[in-house]
Amino acid sequence: MTDAADLLPDDLASAHAMILAERAARREAEALAARAQAVNSHSDALIARLRLEIEKLKRDIHGSRSERKTRLLEQMELQLEEMEADAGEDELAAELAARSSTVRAFERKRPSRKPFPEHLPRERVVIAAPANCPCCGSAKLAKLGEDITETLEVIPRQWKVIQTVREKFSCRECEKITQPPAPFHVTPRGFAGPNPLAMILFEKFGQHQPLNRQSERYAREGIDLSLSTLADQVGACAAALKPLHGLIEAHVLAAERLHGDDTTVPILAKGKTDTGRIWTYVRDDRPFGGQSPPAALYYASRDRRQEHPERHLKCFTGILQVDAYGGYNPLFKVDRDPVPLTQALCWAHSRRKFFALADIASNAKRGKNAAAISPVALEAVKRIDALFDIDRDINGLFASERLQRRQRDSRPLVDELEAWLRSERTKLSRSSPVTEPIDYMLKRWDGFTAFLSDGRVCLTNNAAERALRGFALGRKSWLFAGSDRGADRAAFMATLIMTAKLNDIDPQAWLAELLAHIASGPSARTGSSSSSGMAAACAWCPNVSRMASSTGPECRTVRCA
């Protein structure tokens, strides 16, 4: 028997009404889910904050100053930092979802904010009042008063508060009161301008300074910004900048060739840390004369399973320059959908293995413990260096020119190297240390020689290794990521910061300009971040004029890529 609720209407009007009702119900459900997520995130952050305060009180009462207790408090502060950022991000998402439904928006309960210190200079920015009443057009306006909105701003380590004055006027004809709208901030109910927000983001994700250390430094400068406040702003800024990350992601995955690599990043787990991974994919067409702007894309994961690069690159078709990690192998299979990727291996990796056995200077420092220098490894290094010398001369030329030079100069050297390696391999015992680097190359010879058939291929994967250098240095400072979402947020912000660096743009100044344009754009008033993010995303494109202009970025082409 068919339920009456499952019967579809016969007329078009009823069908349209049913569709509209379903859409409205779906928006209501999405808004309720977003609000519930925001409530849960807020509750988790509140619990973590109270636990941290309890542990600090216990330490003060009992006087325990052990290294273990200090480390525990630092871990709890980092967890709280990530939870506060999650709560700020979820609150904004719930507010945006509530605007298209009847669900009441969720607003977190925050401690009352302290007034800005009196010693900070005030700069009055008066919004021009209308000359005529917008209601009846009369010019008889009388000032009633003014409202002042204070925004914390920083100018190279000089703090100040900007007072935005909004004068009120009443019309003597119709008695209507008129006043300019309040200034919009990057974050909901925000109090910080784009420059301090950009500084906080760049210090945390670009300079690897945790928020608790930033809070301490700001306190020494006379500004009381708690860890909770800073984390809240970080989460909200990450939500506001999401459209820009999507555009960079699309640009990177549309490349003809990518450099890929990963590095370890500890992620906090229950009672321990897991060895997670930060993956990077770098688009840089400059070595073969490409005109597209370079960019770097990052992802985070809790493990190194092969499903991660498969998911990251499911839409990519082209050349992938990587190391010999087996997790990339499914990407090169002939039955891959849509097409298999072209594998290009890194000669710097192979050279490194030989160089370790032929490093005369390092062995000399070991004294009696020095290992014997392998003449085979030394000869291999010399032969590989000859290939690098050729590639340095052709760097920056068009792909066709590079390929022509490689066919003429590099191919004979590669053929000789292969024959020499195979010959030497037959003379070596299985226990010889130089056997491993020789087998490493010969078993993957097609991947190493891909550069001889395509001028776009680079000889090394150093572009990806350089992109990961910040994480390798930074993890000594921040020790570990506080959660999976914290690792994802770090990868998200690293995408923006490294992309700016690759384009020779100051990341902090660029982030400040982006946040200023997102906050002042018309989409900030409607709650839609896609169009403002789209406009801001063009900042790193070479077809866009400098964002320092007073009118903002203007594209010099009819259509951006």
pLDDT tens per residue across all 561 residues of the chain: 455 556 777 777 777 877 887 887 777 777 777 777 777 777 777 776 766 676 666 666 555 444 445 556 666 666 667 777 777 777 777 777 777 676 666 666 666 667 888 888 899 999 888 889 888 888 888 888 888 888 888 876 788 888 889 999 998 888 899 988 877 777 767 788 889 999 999 998 888 888 888 998 898 888 888 888 888 888 888 888 888 888 999 999 999 999 999 988 877 766 667 788 889 999 999 998 888 999 999 998 888 888 999 999 998 999 999 988 888 999 999 888 888 999 999 998 888 888 888 775 555 455 555 556 678 888 898 999 999 989 888 988 999 999 999 999 999 999 999 999 999 888 888 888 888 999 999 999 999 999 999 999 999 998 998 888 888 777 766 656 667 788 888 889 999 999 999 999 999 999 998 888 876 554 444 444 433 333 444 444 433 333 333 333 333 332 333
| Dist. CA 171–CA 187, nearest whole Å | 34
| Dist. CA 468–CA 281, nearest whole Å | 10
Same domain, 275 and 419: yes
Q: List beta partners, residue 167.
A: 146
How, if at all, do strands 158-171 and 122-126 pair? parallel
Same domain, 377 and 283: yes
| Dist. CA 300–CA 485, nearest whole Å | 9
Taken as a whole, the chain contains a residue count of 561
6 located within any domain? no
Give the chain's domain count.
2
- Both tokens assigned to 135: 């209601």
63 located within any domain? no
- Both tokens assigned to 312: 């990251």
Same domain, 286 and 173: no
Residue type, 122: R
- Both tokens assigned to 204: 């945390």
Quick one: the chain helix, strand, coil %, rounded to 5? 55, 15, 30
Which of the listed residues 136, 160, 190 is the one where a domain comes to its end? 190
Phi, psi of 263 (to 5 degrees): -145, 160
Which of the listed residues 461, 491, 516 is the one where a domain comes to its end? 461
- Both tokens assigned to 473: 């240095």
| Dist. CA 524–CA 499, nearest whole Å | 24
322 located within any domain? yes
509 located within any domain? no
Same domain, 314 and 415: yes
Same domain, 186 and 268: no
13 located within any domain? no
258 located within any domain? no
Same domain, 160 and 276: no
Going by C-alpha positions, the residue among 494, 480, 538, 561 that lies closest to residue 82 is 480
Same domain, 164 and 286: no
| Dist. CA 149–CA 66, nearest whole Å | 46
DSSP category for residue 450: G
| Full domain range(s) for residue 272 | 264-461
C-alpha distances out from residue 169 to 163, 172, 173, 368, Å: 19, 9, 12, 88
Residue 338, preceding peptide bond in cis (omega within 30° of 0):
yes
166 located within any domain? yes
The sign of the CA dihedral 371, 372, 373, 375 is: negative
Same domain, 321 and 410: yes
213 located within any domain? no
Q: List beta partners, residue 154.
A: 159
State the pTM of this model.
Answer: 0.69
CB 85 within 8 A of CB 73: no
Which of the listed residues 424, 446, 461 is the one where a domain comes to its end? 461
- Both tokens assigned to 173: 């004809």
